[in-house]
Amino acid sequence: MSKALDPRRANDPRDFLAVDGLLDEDERAIKQTVRRFVVDRVLPDIAGWYEEGVFPRDLATEMGSLGLLGMHLDGYGCAGTNAVSYGLACLELEAGDSGFRSFVSVQGSLAMFPIHAFGSEEQKQEWLPQMAAGEAIGCFGLTEPDSGSDPGSMRTVARRDGSDWVLNGTKMWITNGGIADVAVVWARTDEGIRGFVVPTTTPGFAASNIHAKASLRASVTSELVLQDVRLPESAVLPGVVGLRGPLSCLNEARFGILFGAVGAARACYEAALDYSLSREQFGRPIAGFQLVQRKLVEMMVSVNRSTLVALHLGRLKDAGRLTPAQVSFGKMDNVRQAVEVAREARNSLGANGITLEYPVIRHMTNLESVYTYEGTNEIHTLTLGQAITGLAAFR
């Protein structure tokens, strides 16, 4: 008879609900591969990149060769994994830094997805293989200086001029903008909102990076100015008209974020656990004090609960049953949980919690952006309110 496990030590503090056991072999292998990439290629340098405010563009091709770019899309050089694997990759990347998950979200879900879902065959052939390889970088221009939560109020316009389109307007807060080779830009037309595939070398297109950010510093965030940008008819995404186009892309990216936030929270919880076990005050490890244990337990419960929510939503997506409001549930709750975990972890590290020698303050400040972008906490709350009452309270 096998010796019974000591019930006091039967659980892995880093996977308390044994969620890893719910993954299949391929999913576990992808998770491990991305975790290794983060440990080897991101963690050694991330504090420096964060401090300097740079994103290491060189790593794009490495992420491409790992199949992380547009990984849940089929064909055109994309890996074609299931949705859960895409989510797990986002989780592991964000355990490194939200900037890396952002890069992958924007490239795969916001720039490649619209071309894949709504693009012409010519657009797909031209852009997707090089984007999947990380040789071309994409960005997604929806938000404007006066049009954030309400993208339907955008002012960027595209008007027909003979067989061409001419675009004018300004896009704000655009991830990857300054390093992009191609921008998917959403603009108002006589027919409704349409998407345009804009090579960033097109005359009249300019990107300037936003500096002095105190969050997501290892990520490029830019303003895009389009002044009489002339594009051929072939630049428009033929497959969609209306706000449904960009909002469909957001569903994909928000799905990655609801997994990613768990990664940031897990990294914070693990840092707090390790620190509390080794830091001694009053003659013993602070992890032995009841108030510290309470914080650690709250963090652990939160991380496990968010992981289960993410995995459940991933399984729904793979079964083709995930609704946009369910994505809002995950984005709203997992990100707010992560914000709270990061804050508690920061506190647990005392003064060391404010230095970049530990990952926590970096995650904590990053998560402030994650709380705001891809639909703020309030917008997802209202989306859920509408879903359960049938009443829209946005306006």
- Active site amino acids: 374
Per CB under 6 A, the list member of 85, 222, 251, 326 interacting with ligand TGC is 251
Per CB under 6 A, the list member of 63, 68, 142, 286 interacting with ligand TGC is 142
Asked if 221 is part of the footprint of ligand TGC (rule: CB under 6 A), the reply reads no
CB atoms within 10 A of CB 382: 19
Per CB under 6 A, the list member of 34, 46, 106, 349 interacting with ligand TGC is 106
Binding piece for ligand TGC, criterion CB under 6 A, among 45-53, 116-124, 282-290, 371-379 = 371-379
Per CB under 6 A, the list member of 337, 365, 369, 383 interacting with ligand FAD is 369
The CA distance from 129 to 41, in Å, is: 24
Binding piece for ligand FAD, criterion CB under 6 A, among 113-121, 141-149, 227-235, 333-341 = 141-149
Indicate the pairing of strand 164-175 with strand 221-232.
antiparallel
C-beta of 251: minimal distance to ligand TGC in Å? 5
Per CB under 6 A, the list member of 118, 140, 259, 269 interacting with ligand FAD is 140
Per CB under 6 A, the list member of 120, 202, 372, 386 interacting with ligand FAD is 372
* 174 touches, from ligand FAD, ligand TGC, none (C-beta below 5 to 8 Å by class): ligand FAD
Residue with tokens 């998917």: 184
Per CB under 6 A, the list member of 85, 143, 251, 365 interacting with ligand FAD is 143
Nearer to ligand TGC, 75 or 152 (CB): 152
Asked if 242 is part of the footprint of ligand TGC (rule: CB under 6 A), the reply reads yes
Asked if 221 is part of the footprint of ligand FAD (rule: CB under 6 A), the reply reads yes
Asked if 385 is part of the footprint of ligand TGC (rule: CB under 6 A), the reply reads no
Scanning residues 324 to 353, which ones bind ligand TGC (CB under 6 A)?
324
Per CB under 6 A, the list member of 81, 82, 105, 200 interacting with ligand TGC is 105
Scanning residues 145 to 204, which ones bind ligand FAD (CB under 6 A)?
148-149, 173-175
- What are 260's two structure tokens? 């990613």
Sign of CA dihedral 35, 37, 39, 44: negative
Chain centre to alpha carbon of residue 64: 16
The CA distance from 119 to 124, in Å, is: 6
Nearer to ligand TGC, 81 or 328 (CB): 328
**Interface mask (CB under 6 A) for ligand FAD, residues 51-90, using x and -?**
----------------------------------------
The CA distance from 261 to 370, in Å, is: 8
Contacts of 385 (CB under 8 A, 6+ apart): 391, 393
Beta-bridge partners for 169: 226
Residue with tokens 């399984």: 315
C-beta of 385: minimal distance to ligand FAD in Å? 10
Nearest residue to ligand FAD by CB is 148
Using CB under 6 A as the binding criterion, the count of chain residues that bind ligand TGC stands at 25
* 248 touches, from ligand TGC, ligand FAD, none (C-beta below 5 to 8 Å by class): ligand TGC
CB atoms within 10 A of CB 350: 12
**Interface mask (CB under 6 A) for ligand TGC, residues 166-205, using x and -?**
---------x------------------------------
Residues that bind ligand FAD (CB under 6 A): 106, 140-143, 148-149, 173-175, 216, 221, 369, 372-373, 376, 378-379, 382, 394
